[in-house]
Amino acid sequence: MELNKNKVVVGMSGGVDSSLAAYLLKEEGYEVIGITMRLFDTYDKDDNLVYPDFIEDAKVVAKKLCIPHYVVDFREDFRKKVKNRFVNEYFKGRTPNPCVICNKWIKYGKLLEVAHRIGAYYLATGHYANVRYDEKSKKYRIFRGIAEKKDQSYFLHSLNQGQLKHVLFPLGKYSSKKEVRKIAKEIGARISKKKDSVGICFINNGDYASYLKAQDSSHTSAKSGNFIDIKGRIIGKHNGIINYTIGQRRGIDVESEKPMYVVEIDSEKNTVKLGEDKDTYSRGLIARDPNFTLFKNLESEMKVEVKVCQWGWFLAATLSQMDNSNIQVLFDKKERAIAPGQAVVFYKDTEVIGGATIEKVIK
């Protein structure tokens, strides 16, 4: 099927950002089709399965904009690609980022396939980021959104050229969420005042531990084990490694003259290593499966800035290719609480040049 460059599917969540994305693209003259993904089951306070409110919200917006709206059921794909990986990584003592995986395989994978099946060349979402085509390199490049406090380019580092050529981010040019909400009033006051979603979409109230226990309460990682100190001596009992992440201070109940922090998690031994704050610092990390936007592998060392979590600082560092599957990141100065399983994303000024999954730290 020949794809129509004036036809765009907008992934609509019922929230402010995706609703405004649909509105702006229609104002620009695109033929807009709203599609909402059903990714997981939702329940009421009595644990009864219910139809998601966000789908109804998206339908209301689509009707207001006079655009067609459809729902696609990706629950099984989302379970296999995102939820299962999230659970398995946590059980290994790692700290995964499900949004990165969802963007790669679901939003800009399965949903893009749906867009193409109905003849739409483009898929748009409400992400605060920018994609531009570079005539010199003949490549698509990812840049941070103008609104620094809302920039979501971190989550997009895993996208490839085949995906980037078909995506639109209408909100990337706006300087603040306040500005976006002001424009969204033209759609309706209810949508413009809707609160931002926070945390992981399929986990209620951010209670990771309860969610993980519900998946497999008998797993070793959900059971009590030993707190150990830097020298490996047992200094107390933890209540399951799924309750901890690197750098954590809260919930550490051991006798100590100084505050203690999580330094390392060993799922095989079911131990959580504790130390002082200074022990949480690392001089670098090794990351696996790097994806670069403009090239496959580094040809030489590269000075960059990196983020080791979405809301973290930009850290000066040097990248070097170890082999096809691994890359080394050395910080200009030691950095705190580097968590295996998280994404490390590489930036040159305002451009995302790639990223990878943190495998281990270099002390």
State how far the alpha carbon of 319 is from the alpha carbons of 184, 293, 314, in Å: 41, 15, 14
What's the rounded Cα separation, in Å, for the pair 144 and 129?
5
- Is 309 noted as a catalytic residue in this protein? no
What's the rounded Cα separation, in Å, for the pair 277 and 258?
9
Residues of 282-317 as b/e, b for ≥16 C-beta within 10 angstroms? bebbbbeebbbbeeeebeeebebebbbbbebeebeb
What's the rounded Cα separation, in Å, for the pair 98 and 86?
6
Q: Are 259 and 241 in contact (CB under 8 A)?
A: no
State how far the alpha carbon of 81 is from the alpha carbons of 100, 355, 358, in Å: 11, 19, 19
Residue 152: CB partners within 8 Å, gap ≥ 6? 127, 128, 129, 145, 310
Catalytic residue (one of 66, 99, 102, 309): 102
- Is 201 noted as a catalytic residue in this protein? yes
What's the rounded Cα separation, in Å, for the pair 53 and 140?
36
Task: Give the residue from 306, 61, 327, 347 showing the smallest Cα distance to 184.
Answer: 61
Ramachandran class of 341: left when φ > 0, alpha when ψ lies in -120 to 50, beta otherwise: left
- In the chain, beta strands by DSSP E: 4-11, 31-38, 42-43, 49-50, 69-73, 120-124, 129-134, 139-144, 167-168, 225-228, 234-238, 261-266, 271-275, 281-292, 302-307, 315-321, 326-336, 343-348, 351-362
How far from chain centre, in Å, is Cα 256?
36
**Which residues participate in catalysis according to the annotation?**
102, 201
